[in-house]
Amino acid sequence: MTRRLFSRRAFTTTAAAAAAAIAPFAVASQVKAAPADKTAGKPGGLRRITLYAEKLPDGQLAYGLEPGKPTIPGPLIEMIEGETLEIELVNNTDVTASLHVHGVDYETNSDGTRMNNSVVEPGGRYVYTWRTHAQTSRPDGTIEPGSAGYWHYHDHVVGTDHGTGGILRGLYGPLVVRRTGDVLPDKTFTVVFNDMKTNNLTQAPDFTAKLGERVEFVVITHGNFFHTFHIHAHRWADNRTGLLEGPQDQSRVIDTKTTGPAESFGFQVIAGERVGPGMWMYHCHVQSHSDMGMAGTFWVTDAHGNVPGHSMDEMSGHSMSGMSGHSMDGM
């Protein structure tokens, strides 16, 4: 495993917020290319990682990159079009679990369904292979889309043949596949609306970025309900990258988007662009959902690390997401 994959960079998932809820297990982690430059580089070849499905003390289930360190959502996995990832899933839970992925190429033996015999018994191990490819032309002249996208992975077998129990309990995570040349963010936040919880938390987590940082949001929905993701004072293009891809790009620019179970999308914003530092709400805009707790805060700090009008105590009382670090050199 090369250093390119597991860097020391600051975490960008809901470390602290999750930690408050599920203490020692809430170590956010990610499989990520080092941000050596500002755009996604050339694809590497084959990479291998191990993913652990584990049970939390409160009965939730989660994926993690190290034993004893599961997180909800699971680790952010990033790929560049053309790369192949072999993921050995170690099932440390007491139920049959699996790994099903959206967006990338996989044969039936990596489908993660009982129907295709690609599930893992308790105590078992199983290798799933995810392949990706760049956009290309087919012989008939049509275009085969590349694998790039804001995707995700989840269990497909716990509880029901559709993984309803596994997803409910936390077995899901984000996958971002980039095209060579795609703009890289400074940090990535993952928001998963899972029924009436956000990242399986009753109170949605907070996120923090510095004014001017390029922040990527990956938004995934699971469960049984539909939601509208909204963020205050920032907006994005409703296309592949969330960024307008040219001066003539006529994509809708939006700040609110309907999203249903297993849908996923992502976008990048410049934190506080034209609006300054501040506490900016993000929330599901279904009124009863936000009122029930599906609302968190995007803290945008000024040059001194402060949010004018608010104390750091207040901020840390909410979360330190994106501000903590974690070494994975030991892997």
Closest CA to 243 of 150, 308, 327, 160: 150
DSSP 141-201: SPEEP-S-EEEEEE-SSSSSTT-HHHHHHT-EEEEEEE-TTPBPPSEEEEEEEETTEETTB
Three-state DSSP class for residue 258: strand
In the complex with a copy of itself, which residue's Cβ is closer, 19 or 231? 231
Output the smallest distance, CB 226 to a copy of itself, in A. 5
By C-beta, is 23 or 115 nearer to a copy of itself?
A: 115
H or E element at residue 216: strand 214-222
Residue whose CB is less far from a copy of itself, 12 or 290: 290
Quote the least distance from Cβ 67 to a copy of itself, whole Å: 28
Strands 30-31 and 76-80: parallel
What minimum distance in Å lies between the beta carbon of 186 and a copy of itself? 11
| Least distance from a copy of itself to the Cβ atom of residue 14, Å | 20
Give the residue with the Cβ less far from a copy of itself, 271 or 286.
Answer: 286
Among residues 34 and 275, whose Cβ is nearest to a copy of itself? 275
Q: Shortest distance, CB of residue 75 to a copy of itself, whole angstroms?
A: 21
Question: Which among 155, 150, 151 has a CA at the least distance from the CA of 165?
Answer: 155
Q: Which is nearer to a copy of itself, 64 or 74 (CB)?
A: 74
For residues 1 and 331, the answer to whether their CB atoms sit within 8 Å is yes
Burial 154-167 (b: 16+ CB within 10 A, else e): bbbbbeeebbbbbb
Helix (H) or strand (E) holding 256: strand 256-259
Distance, in Å, from the CA atom of 13 to the CA atom of 193, rounded to the nearest integer, reads 14
Decide if 34 contacts 7 (C-beta within 8 A): yes
Nearest distance from C-beta of residue 68 to a copy of itself, angstroms: 28
Dist CA 68 CA 26 (whole Å)? 9
Q: Which CB atom, from 52 or from 267, has the smaller least distance to a copy of itself?
A: 267
Closest CB 181 distance from a copy of itself, rounded Å: 11
CA 217-225-77 angle, 5° bins:
35
